[in-house]
Amino acid sequence: MSEAQNPVVLITGAARRVGAEIVRHVHRAGYEIALHTRDPSPEALALQAELESIRPGSSLLCHADLGNTTALPDLIDTTLARFGRLDALINNASTFCPTPIGSTTELQWDTLFASNAKAPFFLAQAAAPALRQSQGCIINITDVYGERPLLQHTVYAMAKAALRMLTLSLARELGPEIRVNAVAPGAILWPESGKSEAAKQSLLDKTALRRVGEPADIARTVLFLLRDAPYLTGEVIKVDGGRSLVI
Protein backbone atom coordinates (compact mmCIF):
# COMPACT_ATOMS: atom_id res chain seq x y z
CA MET A 1 0.00 0.00 0.00
CA SER A 2 1.21 3.52 -0.75
CA GLU A 3 2.17 5.76 2.12
CA ALA A 4 -0.65 7.69 3.77
CA GLN A 5 -0.67 11.42 3.02
CA ASN A 6 -1.75 12.33 6.55
CA PRO A 7 0.33 11.62 9.67
CA VAL A 8 -0.41 8.31 11.40
CA VAL A 9 -0.86 7.74 15.15
CA LEU A 10 -1.03 4.42 17.03
CA ILE A 11 -3.03 4.74 20.27
CA THR A 12 -3.22 1.93 22.82
CA GLY A 13 -6.31 1.40 24.93
CA ALA A 14 -8.20 3.44 22.36
CA ALA A 15 -11.79 2.24 22.63
CA ARG A 16 -13.06 3.81 25.84
CA ARG A 17 -12.86 6.66 28.31
CA VAL A 18 -9.85 8.97 27.84
CA GLY A 19 -8.45 6.85 25.01
CA ALA A 20 -11.56 7.26 22.88
CA GLU A 21 -11.57 11.02 23.44
CA ILE A 22 -7.93 11.25 22.36
CA VAL A 23 -8.82 9.27 19.24
CA ARG A 24 -11.64 11.66 18.31
CA HIS A 25 -9.57 14.81 18.87
CA VAL A 26 -6.57 13.56 16.94
CA HIS A 27 -8.72 12.24 14.11
CA ARG A 28 -10.55 15.57 13.78
CA ALA A 29 -7.14 17.22 13.47
CA GLY A 30 -6.46 15.19 10.34
CA TYR A 31 -4.47 12.23 11.63
CA GLU A 32 -4.98 8.65 10.52
CA ILE A 33 -5.54 6.39 13.52
CA ALA A 34 -4.47 2.87 14.41
CA LEU A 35 -6.75 1.98 17.32
CA HIS A 36 -5.39 -0.69 19.63
CA THR A 37 -7.72 -2.63 21.90
CA ARG A 38 -7.25 -5.88 23.75
CA ASP A 39 -10.30 -7.47 22.10
CA PRO A 40 -12.70 -6.56 19.24
CA SER A 41 -15.23 -5.04 21.65
CA PRO A 42 -18.49 -3.37 20.59
CA GLU A 43 -17.07 -0.03 21.77
CA ALA A 44 -14.01 -0.43 19.54
CA LEU A 45 -16.07 -1.39 16.50
CA ALA A 46 -18.45 1.52 17.06
CA LEU A 47 -15.58 3.99 17.42
CA GLN A 48 -13.94 2.81 14.21
CA ALA A 49 -17.29 3.03 12.39
CA GLU A 50 -17.63 6.61 13.66
CA LEU A 51 -14.19 7.53 12.30
CA GLU A 52 -14.84 5.84 8.96
CA SER A 53 -18.14 7.69 8.56
CA ILE A 54 -16.21 10.96 8.85
CA ARG A 55 -13.21 10.03 6.69
CA PRO A 56 -13.26 6.64 4.95
CA GLY A 57 -10.01 4.70 5.10
CA SER A 58 -8.63 6.78 7.97
CA SER A 59 -8.57 4.11 10.67
CA LEU A 60 -7.26 0.67 11.49
CA LEU A 61 -8.47 -1.53 14.34
CA CYS A 62 -5.82 -3.82 15.81
CA HIS A 63 -5.84 -6.12 18.81
CA ALA A 64 -3.19 -7.38 21.22
CA ASP A 65 -2.77 -8.40 24.82
CA LEU A 66 -0.23 -5.88 26.10
CA GLY A 67 0.92 -8.46 28.62
CA ASN A 68 2.23 -10.58 25.74
CA THR A 69 5.47 -8.81 24.89
CA THR A 70 6.14 -10.91 21.81
CA ALA A 71 2.92 -9.61 20.20
CA LEU A 72 3.79 -5.93 20.54
CA PRO A 73 6.02 -5.53 17.45
CA ASP A 74 3.10 -6.86 15.40
CA LEU A 75 1.11 -3.73 16.34
CA ILE A 76 3.80 -1.59 14.75
CA ASP A 77 4.15 -3.87 11.72
CA THR A 78 0.38 -3.96 11.17
CA THR A 79 0.17 -0.17 11.29
CA LEU A 80 3.05 0.22 8.84
CA ALA A 81 1.56 -2.40 6.52
CA ARG A 82 -1.74 -0.48 6.43
CA PHE A 83 -0.53 3.13 6.27
CA GLY A 84 3.12 2.92 5.20
CA ARG A 85 4.27 5.25 7.97
CA LEU A 86 4.07 5.94 11.69
CA ASP A 87 4.33 9.45 13.12
CA ALA A 88 3.36 8.98 16.76
CA LEU A 89 2.85 6.37 19.44
CA ILE A 90 0.48 7.21 22.29
CA ASN A 91 0.80 4.81 25.23
CA ASN A 92 -2.60 5.32 26.81
CA ALA A 93 -3.63 1.81 27.89
CA SER A 94 -3.60 1.36 31.65
CA THR A 95 -4.68 -1.03 34.37
CA PHE A 96 -5.77 0.36 37.75
CA CYS A 97 -6.60 -1.53 40.93
CA PRO A 98 -5.83 -1.24 44.65
CA THR A 99 -2.93 -3.24 46.07
CA PRO A 100 -3.07 -2.92 49.88
CA ILE A 101 0.08 -4.04 51.64
CA GLY A 102 -0.54 -7.50 53.05
CA SER A 103 -2.89 -8.74 50.34
CA THR A 104 -1.16 -7.82 47.05
CA THR A 105 -0.45 -10.74 44.74
CA GLU A 106 2.29 -11.29 42.19
CA LEU A 107 -0.37 -11.45 39.49
CA GLN A 108 -1.56 -7.94 40.41
CA TRP A 109 2.05 -6.71 40.26
CA ASP A 110 2.61 -8.28 36.85
CA THR A 111 -0.69 -6.99 35.46
CA LEU A 112 -0.15 -3.41 36.62
CA PHE A 113 3.42 -3.25 35.37
CA ALA A 114 2.57 -4.94 32.06
CA SER A 115 0.21 -2.23 30.80
CA ASN A 116 1.64 0.78 32.62
CA ALA A 117 5.38 0.29 32.09
CA LYS A 118 6.51 -2.86 30.28
CA ALA A 119 4.33 -2.56 27.17
CA PRO A 120 5.12 1.15 26.65
CA PHE A 121 8.84 0.33 26.71
CA PHE A 122 8.66 -2.52 24.21
CA LEU A 123 6.24 -0.65 21.95
CA ALA A 124 8.57 2.34 21.93
CA GLN A 125 11.48 0.07 21.10
CA ALA A 126 9.58 -1.51 18.21
CA ALA A 127 8.31 1.84 16.93
CA ALA A 128 11.61 3.71 17.13
CA PRO A 129 12.89 2.94 13.60
CA ALA A 130 9.68 4.17 11.95
CA LEU A 131 9.45 7.19 14.24
CA ARG A 132 13.04 8.17 13.47
CA GLN A 133 12.19 8.10 9.79
CA SER A 134 9.15 10.36 10.28
CA GLN A 135 10.79 12.61 12.91
CA GLY A 136 7.86 11.59 15.10
CA CYS A 137 7.01 11.47 18.77
CA ILE A 138 5.93 9.31 21.68
CA ILE A 139 3.38 10.46 24.25
CA ASN A 140 2.87 8.50 27.45
CA ILE A 141 -0.24 8.90 29.60
CA THR A 142 1.04 8.65 33.13
CA ASP A 143 -0.60 9.92 36.34
CA VAL A 144 -0.02 12.51 39.05
CA TYR A 145 0.34 9.48 41.33
CA GLY A 146 3.53 8.63 39.48
CA GLU A 147 5.11 11.40 41.54
CA ARG A 148 3.24 11.07 44.82
CA PRO A 149 1.78 7.92 46.37
CA LEU A 150 -1.88 6.99 46.41
CA LEU A 151 -2.97 5.17 49.54
CA GLN A 152 -3.41 1.42 48.98
CA HIS A 153 -2.21 1.68 45.38
CA THR A 154 1.53 1.20 45.84
CA VAL A 155 2.10 -1.01 42.80
CA TYR A 156 0.08 1.24 40.47
CA ALA A 157 1.99 4.30 41.67
CA MET A 158 5.28 2.46 41.16
CA ALA A 159 4.32 1.46 37.62
CA LYS A 160 3.33 5.00 36.70
CA ALA A 161 6.57 6.29 38.23
CA ALA A 162 8.39 3.86 35.95
CA LEU A 163 6.46 5.24 32.98
CA ARG A 164 7.45 8.76 33.96
CA MET A 165 11.12 7.78 34.08
CA LEU A 166 10.74 5.95 30.78
CA THR A 167 9.53 9.24 29.28
CA LEU A 168 12.61 11.11 30.48
CA SER A 169 15.04 8.38 29.52
CA LEU A 170 13.62 7.85 26.02
CA ALA A 171 13.69 11.60 25.41
CA ARG A 172 17.45 11.48 25.89
CA GLU A 173 18.04 8.23 24.08
CA LEU A 174 15.80 8.78 21.06
CA GLY A 175 16.60 12.43 20.41
CA PRO A 176 17.16 14.33 18.26
CA GLU A 177 14.88 12.53 15.81
CA ILE A 178 12.08 11.55 18.21
CA ARG A 179 10.39 13.73 20.83
CA VAL A 180 9.09 11.95 23.95
CA ASN A 181 6.70 13.58 26.43
CA ALA A 182 3.99 12.58 28.88
CA VAL A 183 0.65 13.82 30.17
CA ALA A 184 -0.17 13.25 33.84
CA PRO A 185 -3.94 13.45 34.47
CA GLY A 186 -5.46 14.24 37.82
CA ALA A 187 -9.16 13.80 38.59
CA ILE A 188 -10.56 13.35 35.08
CA LEU A 189 -12.82 10.31 35.34
CA TRP A 190 -13.67 8.50 38.55
CA PRO A 191 -12.53 4.85 38.75
CA GLU A 192 -14.96 2.38 37.20
CA SER A 193 -14.93 0.47 40.47
CA GLY A 194 -16.58 3.48 42.05
CA LYS A 195 -15.65 6.10 44.62
CA SER A 196 -17.75 7.36 47.50
CA GLU A 197 -19.15 10.87 47.35
CA ALA A 198 -17.15 11.76 50.45
CA ALA A 199 -13.95 10.54 48.83
CA LYS A 200 -14.71 12.48 45.66
CA GLN A 201 -15.34 15.68 47.60
CA SER A 202 -12.19 15.19 49.67
CA LEU A 203 -10.10 14.95 46.50
CA LEU A 204 -11.74 17.98 44.91
CA ASP A 205 -11.19 19.99 48.10
CA LYS A 206 -7.46 19.42 47.54
CA THR A 207 -7.64 20.57 43.92
CA ALA A 208 -7.01 24.24 43.17
CA LEU A 209 -9.81 24.46 40.59
CA ARG A 210 -12.24 22.60 42.90
CA ARG A 211 -13.75 20.53 40.09
CA VAL A 212 -13.22 17.38 38.12
CA GLY A 213 -11.67 17.61 34.68
CA GLU A 214 -12.87 16.12 31.40
CA PRO A 215 -11.31 13.62 28.98
CA ALA A 216 -11.15 16.46 26.46
CA ASP A 217 -8.65 18.23 28.74
CA ILE A 218 -6.26 15.32 28.24
CA ALA A 219 -7.02 15.02 24.53
CA ARG A 220 -6.28 18.70 23.89
CA THR A 221 -2.95 18.40 25.67
CA VAL A 222 -2.04 15.31 23.66
CA LEU A 223 -2.86 17.12 20.42
CA PHE A 224 -0.70 20.06 21.51
CA LEU A 225 2.25 17.71 22.06
CA LEU A 226 1.63 16.02 18.73
CA ARG A 227 1.21 19.09 16.58
CA ASP A 228 2.32 22.29 18.27
CA ALA A 229 5.35 21.49 20.42
CA PRO A 230 8.31 20.81 18.10
CA TYR A 231 10.88 21.96 20.68
CA LEU A 232 9.37 20.14 23.66
CA THR A 233 10.78 16.82 24.82
CA GLY A 234 11.32 15.09 28.15
CA GLU A 235 8.40 16.91 29.75
CA VAL A 236 5.55 15.59 31.90
CA ILE A 237 2.59 17.97 31.69
CA LYS A 238 0.24 17.76 34.67
CA VAL A 239 -3.40 18.18 33.74
CA ASP A 240 -4.76 17.99 37.26
CA GLY A 241 -6.59 21.21 38.04
CA GLY A 242 -3.85 22.11 40.50
CA ARG A 243 -4.15 18.90 42.54
CA SER A 244 -0.35 18.61 42.79
CA LEU A 245 -0.14 22.07 44.40
CA VAL A 246 -1.80 20.86 47.59
CA ILE A 247 -0.10 18.50 50.00
Q: Tell me how far CA of residue 103 lies from CA of 58, 98, 107, 154, in angstroms.
A: 45, 10, 11, 12
CA distance 155 to 105: 10
156 is catalytic: yes
Point out which residues pair with 90 in neighbouring strands. Answer: 11, 139
List the catalytic residue out of 31, 145, 156, 231. Answer: 156
CA distance 246 to 61: 41
Sign of torsion, CA 126 128 129 133? positive
Give me the half-sphere count of Cα atoms (radius 13 Å) on the Cβ side of residue 87. Answer: 17
CA 56 from chain centre, in angstroms, equals 25
Catalytic positions, please?
A: 156
